[in-house]
Chains A and B, each alone.
Chain A
Amino acid sequence: MDRDHTKPIPAYYCCYLLRSTKKPACLYIGSTPHPARRLAQHNGESKGGARRTHHDDKRPWEMVLTVEGFPSRVAALQFEWAWQNPKRARQITANYPPDHSAPRPKGRGSRRSMNAHLEDLHTLLRATPFAHWPLQVRFFASDVHQTWRALADRVQGFLPDHLEVIVDGNCAGAPLPATGEQEKVKGVTGLKVTYTHMQDYLDKAIFLLEDSEDCRCGVCAVPLVPDGELVVVCSQDNCSCTSHLLCLSKKFLEAADEPDRLVPISGACPGCGKTVPWSLMMQELTLRNRGDNKAQAKRKRNKASITSHGTEVASGQRSAVVKETDNEHALMDGLPDDISLDENWTESLEMDLDSKNISESQSQPIPTRTEIIIEDSDCEEIYTLD
């Protein structure tokens, strides 16, 4: 199998929108598995970061919103590309009325306002491939959230139901439901970018499946063969329900009454009856099942010492959790891993983008930007308002 398929679902991957604190009109779209680290790069606190964010007159940058929950790096990059290139992204161009799209300047240099970016984001979240993904939008800046809400009222069409909009950061005034309060992380550094929060879940799953004789599928009641079959374990702490991957998905999809869907968003666990997110379970499943990573993940888990608030936690996407004192070292460790990932993933993305373009229309120039994307995993772009 390909290496890609042996990788577990990343603990965290997001697309983000940066805004210059000095020049609020300067915006920048990127993607990263580790927003805190990436933001530090953008602000020049650590090496790396896009060239476009290197101007001192624009630093520091602030992350005003993130789109989280991408199930794979490819997915994130695709979304990022579409967001960066609203002109070329099918999802957006299809939805735009022609009079809108015509005058829009071509190419990367197009400078767009926050409003336009949010509009594009809204469109993308409603468009086909992305609407099915387990995404959530997190706002860190209240004013951006304000514009977002205004936009959402204005725009025709609704975001998919499962898409969560989390108001975070300094958006104090927003009323939060109970669940939303949980999700709040107060800042970029509070984002859970590692698998650490899944450790208990993972341990439980491993424990449950070790004595496989007792295990039966919660759906079809057939004894499970954990070594050979893909077994899903309920993500609820106190639930020990295990089931076949296909059985559970079928059950969820039937419950959701969406025959066209292949991948459920969430469903009620047959054991405990609580609604469990599919993406989380898949994260655990892949983390547990994916070949060589299993041992590694376990090792890391055992080593892991979780810092209290998780600030400056430097790690790759494979849950290397390190103490603050080791930050520098960990960064260095994390980077090469990340870079190697970059190569593979971006290649695939490039292919995808190329093919996309080809399939879309021959007349459109093949984007040269994909190359830039390759260079920097969080390749992004500043859009400035003049």
Chain B
Amino acid sequence: MTATADVIVLSSSPEQQSPIDTPAPLKYDAQKLFDLSPIDTTTAEVPSPSDLFQNPTRSRFFENEKQPSKRAKTTETDKTGVTGAEAGQPKVPVKKRGRPKKKAEDSTTTKRATAPNRTIIGRVAKTSSSSLPIEGQADKKTNCSSTPQLSIKQNSADDACNWEKHGLELEQALKRRLDWTPLDGATKQSIGLDDTLHQESNDMRSFGTMLSEFGFGGTAASRAQGRVLEENGPTKRRRIEVCPPDEPLNPKSSAVVKKTSKPTKKFSTLTARVTAQYLAATTEGMDNTEESDLANMSSVPTSKKTMRKTNQTKPQEPELVILSPEAAVKSLNDQELVFGTCSQLEREDSPTTIRELQTAIWESEQSLALERSTRANGSARDTLPLTVSRFTASRKLWSVASRDVDGSVLPLEIVDLADGPDTPKARAVFDKAVSEQKKDQTSSTTKEEVPTMPHFSGFTDAQLSKRIAKFGFKPIKSRPKMIEILTKCWESEHGTAAPSVSDEPAPKPPTSSVPTLVPKASNKPTKTRKTTTTKITNTESQPKTQPDTTFIKTTTAPVESATTSTYSFANIEEIQDSEDDESIPSPSRLQAQYLSHNAAPQPSLPTTITPTIPLSPSKEKATTLAKKIHAERAVESPNIHDQISQAVYLQRPLRPTSASRQPSWHEKILMYDSIFLEDFTTWLNTEGLGLVNEDREVGAALVKEWCEARGVCCCYRPKGRE
């Protein structure tokens, strides 16, 4: 229904309004503006039956459109309002300013709007002809005139009581169509049709309703004709409705405007909406100019009226009605501009929301700015000299900028911060500024943990391969692998070397970072301890540097090593203490700090454990990594292939074929079975290589190499099966 209503609003405006207008002007205009609207008077004189029909139709129409229509009387004005709304859409925002204050203005606006309606109609009419099919699609009611009964039935289904109304609706559509055409000059034909329809419809009751409608339509058409004949409709109309601004007194009209505002928004197409706005605007402008002309030319009557209005409702009107130049300028200045694409603006139900949004944004921005300023001020206050404050600010920026893609902090940063003159000062004021500096501290803490390792992912392939070569690995093709290995190597190597690096950040942390650090730090060491023990037992993955024997020893007593590690670290920390004495409050507290603190940067743990540390981040990864590394290394050593062969040969005694029907690997190979590399590799790693006292592990790639070198048909296990 709503959709249909919308369409109706578009198409119906000219003629319906004209009859509607007639009563409205009759009430008010007849008194004042009679001379201006001769046509209207004629319409008013139109025989009563048409009016009878009209009223219900309108009321009905509006009920459909807007259920909240409370006043039956307003229907007439409503229609004017509807038309006005169409034309006056652009005004809507302007009105809204005034609206809250007084409703009287609206009436004037509506009347003006009606005048533009004419023009609009004239223009829209062209489009409407094209839009007719659309109506047909959307509206069941607006079926072709040839099938009125069907439409009536449909309508009857809706409301049994209002036969006439239903019929009217249908006919309204018909009229509209007809009306539109008459404007172009084809009115005669339409009239004839209407007449014939009239006669026919008189016979049947259902047609009676049709009759009424048709009669009404006919009258409208005749009116239109008359207008056309007498004068050019639109221009005349304009004048007529320009005058009516006298009727601000009607409170109803304002309500009407409210109602009308909705349908105006419901233009079927975007272009229609947009163009309608501009059309209205132009008409408005036209009206204004006309009004001003009127005011200038026939200064006496109009000015009086306007004066009255202004007196009555000064605050609202000035924008809408004629303004004094100053007022106009004022209003212009006061005019708020809402920027946005037309679709955006249109989407918003009211400009107020947009405005509110904007204000909200502005406020938030301002608050941000305030925050910044306050922060800057606060930091300045804390750190006293201006330069320092600036430095801190820049430091924040630095801390942000120095992060790479991964979010880890670049090592360069730390040096600057440590050397920075602000740190001691900040420390002095530390107690005050704790809250503010926390953020910085957190960042600094992260720096402490990560920074020492060079960022391998940033290296070029050539660099990576060089490094790997330096570590004595066979060149690896895949970049991530290289990075993995390098990180591992670095971790294992720098386990001892790390403390030297950690010296740099050390001076800072004691001052501020401790409180935030404590939980993290406490968590981490425990984790690492567990993982180290488990890993060692699980996969005897050894870093290169360490011989097996020492490794086994370390596994036996991991807890001890952990404890010792904390102590040793504390010692190291003490060295650092000597550098920064100022901020240290009490030795006990310091001790606590260090105990918690040293766990975080693990590198300083005793050397015996260091190899295991790199494995800590995640067990599985580490194990796989270790495997890979071993595989790579295994490739290096020439005899791993032989070892595999030996393992295959040796399998037989362990597992006699008779026991289980499963053939050994050797037998499978002999029987040309295609070997699943996964299975074979796992067997080699778990059993096979153990047979030949080979501690290394092999990867599937290596095994594949081995297989192919010996003509063994091998393949990876297909995904689907296990």
A261 at the interface (CB under 8 A from B): yes
By a CB distance below 8 angstroms, the chain B residues around A263 are 669-670, 672, 710-712
Contact with A along B480-495 (1 / 0, CB 8 A): 0000000000000000
By a CB distance below 8 angstroms, the chain A residues around B595 are none
| Alpha-carbon distance A7/B718, docked complex (angstroms) | 16
Contact A245 B670 (CB under 8 A): yes
* Known A-B contacts A132-B711, A262-B666; A344 and B671 likewise in contact (beta carbons under 8 Å): no
Nearest chain-B residue to A128 (Cβ)?
B708
Contact B718 A128 (CB under 8 A): no
Contact A74 B674 (CB under 8 A): yes
Contact A348 B670 (CB under 8 A): no
Contact with A along B98-114 (1 / 0, CB 8 A): 00000000000000000
In the complex, what's the smallest C-beta–C-beta distance from A164 to chain B, in angstroms? Answer: 16
B652 at the interface (CB under 8 A from A): yes
* Known A-B contacts A263-B711, A263-B712, A362-B477; A228 and B671 likewise in contact (beta carbons under 8 Å): no
By a CB distance below 8 angstroms, the chain A residues around B663 are 230
Contact A5 B711 (CB under 8 A): no
Contact B672 A348 (CB under 8 A): no
The B-contacting residues of A in range 227-276, CB under 8 angstroms, are 227-230, 245-246, 249, 260-263
B645 at the interface (CB under 8 A from A): yes
In the complex, what's the smallest C-beta–C-beta distance from B71 to chain A, in angstroms? Answer: 74
Residue from B657, B673, B716 within 8 A of A5 (CB atoms)? B673
B478 at the interface (CB under 8 A from A): yes
Q: What is the count of residue pairs linking A and B with beta-carbon distances less than 8 angstroms? A: 118
Main secondary structure of the interface of B (DSSP, over half): loop
Residue from B667, B704, B710, B719 within 8 A of A230 (CB atoms)? B667
B1 at the interface (CB under 8 A from A): no
Contact B477 A228 (CB under 8 A): no
In the complex, what's the smallest C-beta–C-beta distance from A353 to chain B, in angstroms? Answer: 9
Residue from A1, A129, A229, A279 within 8 A of B713 (CB atoms)? A129
By a CB distance below 8 angstroms, the chain B residues around A249 are 670
In the complex, what's the smallest C-beta–C-beta distance from B141 to chain A, in angstroms? Answer: 59
By a CB distance below 8 angstroms, the chain B residues around A3 are 721
In the complex, what's the smallest C-beta–C-beta distance from A51 to chain B, in angstroms? Answer: 25
| Alpha-carbon distance A74/B667, docked complex (angstroms) | 18
B715 at the interface (CB under 8 A from A): yes
Contact B710 A260 (CB under 8 A): yes
Contact B713 A2 (CB under 8 A): no
| Alpha-carbon distance A228/B667, docked complex (angstroms) | 13
By a CB distance below 8 angstroms, the chain A residues around B638 are none
Nearest chain-A residue to B663 (Cβ)?
A230
By a CB distance below 8 angstroms, the chain A residues around B711 are 128-133, 261-263
By a CB distance below 8 angstroms, the chain A residues around B715 are 74, 78, 348-349, 351-352
In the complex, what's the smallest C-beta–C-beta distance from B656 to chain A, in angstroms? Answer: 8
Residue from A72, A128, A354 within 8 A of B674 (CB atoms)? A72
Contact A260 B674 (CB under 8 A): no
Contact B716 A351 (CB under 8 A): yes
By a CB distance below 8 angstroms, the chain B residues around A308 are none
Contact A348 B709 (CB under 8 A): no
Residue from B657, B671, B704, B709 within 8 A of A286 (CB atoms)? B671
A71 at the interface (CB under 8 A from B): yes
Contact B674 A347 (CB under 8 A): no
In the complex, what's the smallest C-beta–C-beta distance from A148 to chain B, in angstroms? Answer: 23
Q: Which of A230, A261, A282 has the most CB of B within 10 A?
A: A230
Contact B712 A228 (CB under 8 A): no
Contact B710 A261 (CB under 8 A): yes
By a CB distance below 8 angstroms, the chain B residues around A225 are 658
In the complex, what's the smallest C-beta–C-beta distance from B680 to chain A, in angstroms? Answer: 12
The B-contacting residues of A in range 64-117, CB under 8 angstroms, are 71-72, 74-75, 78
A359 at the interface (CB under 8 A from B): yes
Contact B719 A72 (CB under 8 A): no
Contact B645 A4 (CB under 8 A): no
B622 at the interface (CB under 8 A from A): no
Residue from B662, B666, B720 within 8 A of A347 (CB atoms)? B720
Contact with A along B585-610 (1 / 0, CB 8 A): 00000000000000000000000000
By a CB distance below 8 angstroms, the chain A residues around B456 are none
Residue from B659, B669, B677, B713 within 8 A of A78 (CB atoms)? B713
Contact B672 A279 (CB under 8 A): yes
In the complex, what's the smallest C-beta–C-beta distance from B517 to chain A, in angstroms? Answer: 40
By a CB distance below 8 angstroms, the chain B residues around A261 are 710-711
Contact with A along B642-684 (1 / 0, CB 8 A): 0001001000100011110111001111111110110000000
* Known A-B contacts A128-B708, A229-B658, A359-B704; A262 and B716 likewise in contact (beta carbons under 8 Å): no
| Alpha-carbon distance A349/B718, docked complex (angstroms) | 8
B521 at the interface (CB under 8 A from A): no
Contact A4 B674 (CB under 8 A): yes
In the complex, what's the smallest C-beta–C-beta distance from A144 to chain B, in angstroms? Answer: 26
By a CB distance below 8 angstroms, the chain B residues around A229 are 657-658
Nearest chain-A residue to B713 (Cβ)?
A75
Q: Which of B714, B715, B721 has the most CB of A within 10 A?
A: B715
| Alpha-carbon distance A348/B716, docked complex (angstroms) | 6
| Alpha-carbon distance A78/B707, docked complex (angstroms) | 14
By a CB distance below 8 angstroms, the chain A residues around B648 are 262
A29 at the interface (CB under 8 A from B): no
Contact B658 A359 (CB under 8 A): no
* Known A-B contacts A260-B710, A361-B477; A352 and B670 likewise in contact (beta carbons under 8 Å): no
Contact A72 B713 (CB under 8 A): yes
A305 at the interface (CB under 8 A from B): no
Contact A1 B662 (CB under 8 A): yes
By a CB distance below 8 angstroms, the chain A residues around B669 are 262-263
The B-contacting residues of A in range 123-146, CB under 8 angstroms, are 128-133
Nearest chain-B residue to A286 (Cβ)?
B671
Contact B718 A348 (CB under 8 A): yes
Residue from A4, A262, A351 within 8 A of B712 (CB atoms)? A262
| Alpha-carbon distance A279/B671, docked complex (angstroms) | 8
Contact B709 A128 (CB under 8 A): yes
By a CB distance below 8 angstroms, the chain B residues around A15 are none
By a CB distance below 8 angstroms, the chain B residues around A5 are 668, 673
By a CB distance below 8 angstroms, the chain B residues around A359 are 701, 704
Contact B674 A348 (CB under 8 A): yes
In the complex, what's the smallest C-beta–C-beta distance from B706 to chain A, in angstroms? Answer: 10
B717 at the interface (CB under 8 A from A): yes
* Known A-B contacts A282-B672, A285-B671, A348-B674; A260 and B718 likewise in contact (beta carbons under 8 Å): no
The 22 sampled A-B contact pairs (Cβ below 8 Å) are A4-B674, A72-B713, A74-B674, A74-B715, A128-B709, A130-B711, A132-B710, A132-B711, A132-B712, A133-B713, A228-B657, A245-B670, A246-B667, A262-B669, A262-B712, A263-B712, A347-B719, A348-B716, A351-B717, A354-B716, A355-B716, A362-B478
Binding site for B on A (CB under 8 A): 1-5, 9, 71-72, 74-75, 78, 128-133, 225, 227-230, 245-246, 249, 260-263, 279, 282, 285-286, 344, 347-352, 354-355, 359, 361-362
Nearest 7 CB-CB pairings of A with B: A132-B711, A228-B658, A71-B672, A352-B715, A347-B718, A351-B716, A74-B674
Binding site for A on B (CB under 8 A): 477-479, 645, 648, 652, 656-659, 661-663, 666-674, 676-677, 700-701, 704, 707-721
- List 19 additional contacts besides A1-B662, A344-B721; criterion CB under 8 Å: A71-B713, A72-B673, A72-B674, A74-B715, A128-B708, A129-B708, A133-B711, A133-B713, A229-B658, A230-B657, A230-B667, A260-B645, A263-B670, A263-B672, A282-B670, A347-B720, A348-B716, A348-B718, A349-B715
